[in-house]
Amino acid sequence: MTTQANPTTRVALVTGASRGIGATVATRLAADGYAVAVNYAGNEAAAHATVAAIEAAGGRAIAVRADVADAEAVKRMFATIEDTLGRVDVLVNNAGVLPYVTIAETSDDVFARTMAINVTGTFNTMREAATRMNEGGRIVNFSTSVLHMAPPTYGVYAATKGAVEALTRVFAKELRGRAITCNAVAPGPVATELFLNGKSDALVEQIAKSAPLERLGQPDDIAGVVAFLAGPDGGWVNGQVLRANGGMA
CB 1 within 8 A of CB 81: no
| CA neighbor of 124 nearest in space, from 206, 245, 15 | 15
For 66-206, strand residue ranges (E) read 90-93, 138-142, 181-185
Within 10 A of 85 (CB to CB), how many other CB atoms are there? 26
CB 202 within 8 A of CB 229: no
Within 10 A of 81 (CB to CB), how many other CB atoms are there? 24
DSSP 133: S
- Cα–Cα distances (Å) from 199 to 92, 106, 114, in that order, read 28, 21, 21
Active site positions, annotated: 157
